[in-house]
Each structure stands twice: as C-alpha cells, then as structure tokens.
Amino acid sequence: MLKVVQEDVAADAAGGAAGSMLDEIVRDGARQMLASALQAEVAAYVQAHAGQVDERGHRLVVRNGSALAREVVTGAGAVTVAAPRVNDRRVDPVTGVRQRFSSAIVDSKSAIRWFAAANSASLGSTFSATNTLSQNLSQS
C-alpha cells in the first residue's frame, strides 16, 4: 500500500518521492475502479440470467468466487486485480456447448480492452469509462 517516504527537499523539488507517491495513489485508484467495474459487469450478467433455472429450481448462472489475482497493465501502470468468476451452466441447444461468461473489460490475457491508449488514458477518462460501462451493463 502507500508508504510515507521522507527524502530531502532536493529530491522533492525534482519530483522524486512526491512523484512515486502520486503514482501509487493513481495506481490504487485505477485498481479500485477496475475492481468495481468488474464486479458491476458480473453482477449485471448474473442478474440478466437470474430467471433461468434447472429442473431442481437452481439458477444456471451464479457467481463463483474470484479468480487468482493477476497483474493488468493500465494507463496508471500495472495493477493487481482478482476478477470475479461466473459459473454459467447454460447449454446452447443447437451445438450442445456450454455458454461461457467473457468479460468485456479484461480478456483472458489480462489486457484491458476499453483502455484505447494505455499510456495516455487519464484518471478522469478512466472514471468516465467505468461509469459508462456500468450504465450500459445495467441497461442490458
């Protein structure tokens, strides 16, 4: 987490310690927003399929804990996130293949799809993208 670093005034004037503390704050904010967006995405997916049940009345789409934490590269730098998991037991009637949840935010290789330019994305645009994604997911 955050550390208090006491350096001499010359290092602060050069942006040394202050820059690294600010970077840590930005990365922590990005991690929290990404985790919130993933939670909202999974909640919307599970809610959208809440009415589908098996012959015993159990839901076919449910949350299933969290995946192992992994590092995701964002405009704020690398952040560690544990994405929520979904157990989707629905089967396609035509092909017989089980349906699978696939995140629109983080793909299987941990690349963020909606950060178009990772190094130029600002924290404000990240927050805006998170809100837009949450609104879109809740409407679908």
Domain residue limits, the chain: 9-139
Cα–Cα distance, 11 to 27 (Å, whole number)? 21
Mean pLDDT, rounded, for 28-57: 94
pLDDT in tens, 83-130: 899 999 999 999 999 999 988 888 755 444 434 333 344 444 545 555
Task: Provide, rounded to the nearest whole percent, the portion of the chain with pLDDT above 70.
Answer: 62
- pTM of the predicted model over 0.75: no
pLDDT in tens, 17-28: 566 889 899 999
* pLDDT score recorded for residue 61: 96
Cα–Cα distance, 31 to 2 (Å, whole number)? 13
